[in-house]
């Protein structure tokens, strides 16, 4: 019996970009070849032990085995508010301006349902984290892409957005420290964002999971630090990258109470919140010792400093990142990132992410992640040192 045709939104999902690459990697690995992936943005270092202990203890309490409340444990929301106050000097009402998410990806996908009706516009960075545009599409909205260029520090040019598009737009996505470009934003940019959002009545969604992953003593700022941010939007944050907890699925939003409430209402109808034991472990993460953050950052920084000279020797252009888990490198003019990445697997058994996978404006770049173990990274660098880009093009 034939099944009915799937909904158009399924067909509209972007093809899984790495099907071909994954097939190639698996084939090579099956032949016993040592394929090293610099394409994965998932911290390799373990979650800190005091957070694991907090989870184990919380697991043994049967009270935590039941459905959590959709808006989370008051104690978790309070601990998020305290952390923001301590880290960024911004205050939030834990009852109305903070919401836990099942990892920020979940919240990012669902916020579109709060503001986008059929045909409504979301302003989305290109290159960008794919969930902004996918969430928009699933909600029936349209993405208007804002290209990010190296010449302008990979910040969108808000003045270049046509007036009629800005008037129709309901959501604006920004993300700093940025994935994939590793660019950072300062408060003056966020001030311009608030001004733009107020002028056109747009909800700003700032995605900031990398504010704690930074190098050389640099401290990224929060969008929420600028005057008026809370009038126009919310910030998505996550314990995933700060505390190496990607698999635990816990994140949070802070900001405008009306936006927070809309997201809570959508979420309470489609999910039942974050496992309480994980929320209690999240409290341990936010309130416990923060020294692992510096330790992890030192490890990523050392990897960054080994990787960049090798990429440059290959003939790529790199601006050393101040933050994030990535190095974004520019190929020689005219080179296609997909072709380059496939040849690199063939030639060196090293996998990088083609920039085109993050949008049209990502073409001509590759992303290397700093989350591969040091031994594997050394082997990868050894091989890359013997590659000349012109032989791959």
Ligand X SMILES: *Cc1c(COP(=O)(O)O)cnc(C)c1O
Residues that bind ligand X (CB under 6 A): 41, 103-105, 129, 175, 179, 207, 209, 238, 240-241, 246, 251
Q: How far is the CB of 195 from ligand X (least distance, A)?
A: 24
In the complex with ligand X, the residue whose CB is nearer, 64 or 240, is: 240
Distances (CA, A) of 357 to 17, 197, 326, 352: 7, 28, 15, 11
In the complex with ligand X, the residue whose CB is nearer, 208 or 364, is: 208
The per-residue b/e assignment along 329-355, b for 16 or more CB within 10 angstroms, e otherwise, is bbbeeebebbebbbebbeebbbbbbbb
Q: How far is the CB of 104 from ligand X (least distance, A)?
A: 4
DSSP annotation string for 87-131 = HH-----TTTSEEEESSHHHHHHHHHHHH--TT-EEEEEES--TH
Q: How far is the CB of 346 from ligand X (least distance, A)?
A: 28
Say which residues have a Cβ less than 8 Å from residue 129's Cβ, sequence separation at least 6. Answer: 108, 175, 179, 180, 207, 358
Here the tokens at position 191 are 């001030």
In the complex with ligand X, the residue whose CB is nearer, 13 or 198, is: 13
In 3D, which of 116, 103, 51 has the Cα closest to residue 253? 103
In the complex with ligand X, the residue whose CB is nearer, 110 or 303, is: 110
In the complex with ligand X, the residue whose CB is nearer, 129 or 275, is: 129
In the complex with ligand X, the residue whose CB is nearer, 252 or 262, is: 252
Q: How far is the CB of 244 from ligand X (least distance, A)?
A: 11
Q: How far is the CB of 117 from ligand X (least distance, A)?
A: 24
Q: Are 99 and 71 in contact (CB under 8 A)?
A: yes
Q: How far is the CB of 111 from ligand X (least distance, A)?
A: 12
């Amino acid at each position: 019996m034939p099944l009915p045709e799937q909904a158009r939104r399924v067909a509209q999902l972007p093809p899984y970009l790495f099907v071909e690459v994954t097939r190639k990697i698996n084939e090579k690995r099956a032949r016993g070849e040592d394929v090293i992936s610099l394409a994965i943005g998932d911290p390799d270092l373990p979650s800190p032990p005091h957070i694991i202990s907090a989870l184990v203890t919380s697991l043994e309490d049967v009270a935590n085995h039941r459905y959590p409340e959709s808006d989370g444990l008051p104690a978790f929301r309070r601990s998020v508010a305290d952390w923001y106050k301590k880290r960024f000097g911004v205050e939030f009402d834990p009852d109305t301006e903070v919401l836990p998410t099942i990892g920020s990806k979940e919240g990012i996908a669902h916020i579109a349902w709060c503001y986008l009706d059929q045909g409504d516009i979301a302003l989305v960075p290109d290159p960008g984290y794919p969930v902004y545009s996918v969430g928009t599409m699933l909600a029936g909205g349209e993405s208007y892409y804002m290209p990010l260029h190296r010449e302008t520090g990979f910040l969108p040019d808000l003045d270049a957005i046509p007036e009629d598009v800005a008037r129709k737009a309901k959501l604006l996505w920004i993300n700093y420290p940025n994935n994939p470009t590793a660019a950072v934003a300062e408060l003056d940019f966020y001030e311009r964002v608030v001004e733009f959002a107020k002028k056109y009545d747009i909800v700003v969604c700032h995605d900031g999971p990398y504010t704690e992953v930074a190098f050389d003593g640099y401290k990224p700022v929060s969008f929420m630090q600028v005057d008026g941010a809370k009038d126009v939007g919310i910030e998505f944050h996550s314990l995933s990258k700060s505390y190496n907890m990607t698999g635990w699925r816990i994140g949070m939003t802070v900001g405008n109470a009306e936006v927070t409430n809309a997201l809570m209402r959508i979420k309470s109808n489609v999910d039942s919140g974050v496992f309480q034991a994980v929320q209690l472990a999240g409290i341990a993460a936010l309130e416990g010792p923060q020294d692992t953050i510096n330790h992890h950052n030192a490890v990523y920084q050392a990897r960054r400093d080994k990787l960049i000279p090798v990429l440059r020797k290959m003939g790529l252009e790199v601006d050393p990142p101040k933050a994030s888990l990535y190095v974004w490198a520019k190929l020689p003019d005219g080179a296609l990132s997909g072709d380059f990445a496939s040849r690199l697997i063939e030639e060196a058994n090293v996998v990088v992410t083609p920039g085109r996978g993050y949008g049209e404006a990502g073409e001509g770049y590759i992303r290397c992640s700093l989350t591969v173990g040091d031994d594997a990274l050394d082997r990868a660098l050894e091989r890359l040192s013997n590659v000349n880009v012109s032989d791959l093009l």
